[in-house]
Amino acid sequence: MMPIYCDQAATSFPKPKAVVEAISSFLTNTSGSPGRSAHRYAIEAGRAVFEARETIAVFFNCPSSEQVIFTANVTESLNLVLLGLLQPGDHVVTTSMEHNSVMRPLQYLRESRNVDFTVVSCDDQGQLDPEDIRRVLRSETRFVVVNHASNVTGTILPIEAVGEIKGDAFFLVDTAQSAGVIPIDMQEAGIDFLAFTGHKSLLGPTGIGGLCLSKDIRLNPLKRGGTGSRSESWAHPDFLPDRYESGTPNTLGIAGLDAGIRFIREQGIERIRDHELQLIRQMMEGLGGIRGVKIYGPQAADEKTAIVSLNIEGKSPSEVCLTLDRKYGIMTRGGLQCAPIAHKTIGTFPDGTVRLSLGYFNTMEEVDQVIRAIDEISRR
C-alpha cells in the first residue's frame, strides 16, 4: 500500500528537491548567522535572507523588499498586525470563514483592549458578498480582515472586490491557503498587510512565514532584542525590517522558502493551479456519484482551492479519517480544522468534516484510489 498524502492544506508534502537541497546545502556549507558578523559565512547567510526577501517582494508585488517581514508562521503574522495596531475603541470587520488564527486574537483584543469586531456572514458555500462588508463599516473600523481561501471548503473569497470597498480601514489578508496557487498582487488588490505561511502551497519547510507591508505602517513589535544593528543602543531599532525581527532568524526556513517560491516561478503558478483544478474536478466528479457522500463548499472547482470537505452519512469524520489512514494509507484531516466559525457557516459544527486536500505533487491515479476508498467506506 503506497501512502497517499491528502493533507496538503495542513502542510504540503513532498517538497520540491530544490527546497531540500537549499536547506541541506545551508546546513552543510554555510550555516552562519545573518547580519551579525562580516565573515563570509555570515555574509552568505545574510545574502540568503536578503535574496529571499527580494523573491517574496516580487512574488506578491510588495513595493520594496524591506517591507517583507519574516515570522514563524501566518499565525504570528496575523497576531503581529492585530495586536500591534488595534487600540481600545477600534472596530474590526471580518468574515464567518476565518481560521482561529484571526478569531482568537480578535476575541483576546475584545476582552483585553475593548476592541469591537463584526463578523460578516458568508453563505453556506462559504462565499462572501463584499456588499455585506460595506454595510457594517464604521468610522472607527480600523481593519477589514479576510481569509483569501477557506481552509475548510477551499472557497476563494473576492479580495479584490473587498479591497475596493473597504474605505479607510486597513486591509489584512490571510493567504495561508492561497499563496503559491492563486496569483496575488497586493498592490492591485489594495492589500495593506499580506500574511503568508511558507510551508503550504509556497512549498517551503514549516516554521517560516511572513508579512508583506504595503508601506511602513508602524506596528508595535511582538518582540524586541538583538538585530545586529544599532547594537550600542538599548532602544530597539525602528526601521524595517529590523523593527519586527529580533533574535537569530530561521535562516534554514528562509532559504527553503526562497527555493520553494523559485520552484513555483519556474513551473508557473498557472500550471500549478491547472494541475490542481484537474485533480479537484476529477475528485468532485467521482465523489459526487457516491450515495451518502455530502460535499460542502462550492461545487465548481474553479471557485475553490484543491480542497474537498465531505461527510459520509452515518459516519463521524474522525472514524472516516482513521479508516482512510489505517486501511488505505490515505492521509486526511477530520474535525473542525481550527476553524469552528467556518463550520458553523456551512452547517457542520460541531462534528466537522473529512477534509481531503490536494497539491501539485498529487496524481490523477491517487485521486482515483481515494474515490474508490471513499466508495468502499460508504458501503460499509
Partner 1 sequence: MSTNRPDEHVLPFVDLSTIAKNMKRAGQPTVNREPDKLSSYSNTQLIFIFDSIHYVLKAEKALKKEDIPCELIPVPREISSDCGMALAIDESAGGVARERLAEHHLEFSIFRKAGKGYFKAPV
Cell numbers 519574516 label which residue?
A: 70
Query: Cα–Cα distance between 108 and 114 in angstroms, integer?
Result: 9
Smallest gap from residue 41 Cβ to partner 1 (A): 9
The strand pairing partners of 116, in sequence order, are 91
Q: Give the nearer residue to partner 1 in terms of CB position, either 61 or 100.
A: 61
66 or 116: CB nearest partner 1: 66
Phi, psi torsion values for 117, nearest 5 degrees: -140, 150
Report how far residue 37's alpha carbon sits from residue 298's, in angstroms, rounded to the nearest whole number: 52
Write the CA distances from 14 to 177, 194, 250, 256, 326, integer angstroms.
17, 25, 20, 13, 20
Q: How far is the CB of 185 from partner 1 (least distance, A)?
A: 21
Residue closer to partner 1 by CB (options 201, 227) is 227
User: Whose Cβ is closer to partner 1: residue 126's or residue 237's?
Assistant: 237
Minimum separation from the CB atom of position 77 to partner 1 (A): 18
What is the contact surface with partner 1 in residues (CB under 8 A)? 34-40, 43-44, 46-47, 49-50, 53, 64-66, 227-233, 237, 239-242
Please report, for residues 21, 42, 250, 252, the alpha-carbon distance to residue 46 in angstroms, rounded to integers and kept in the order given.
18, 6, 12, 12
Q: Which is nearer to partner 1, 43 or 72 (CB)?
A: 43
Apex 100 CA angle, 96 and 103, nearest 5: 60
Shortest gap between Cβ of 57 and partner 1 (angstroms)?
Answer: 11
At residue 90, the 3 state secondary structure works out as coil
**Residue (65 or 71) nearer to partner 1, CB:** 65
Q: How far apart are the first and last CA of the chain?
A: 21
C-alpha grid cell for residue 71?
Answer: 515570522
Considering the complex, state which of residue 28 and residue 233 has its C-beta at the smaller distance from partner 1. 233
Name the minimum Å distance from CB 37 to partner 1.
7
Q: Give the shortest CB-172-to-partner 1 separation in angstroms.
A: 23
Residue 215 Cβ, how far from partner 1 at the closest point, in Å? 12
The three-state secondary structure class of 190 is: coil
Q: How far apart are CA 286 and CA 304, in angstroms?
A: 17
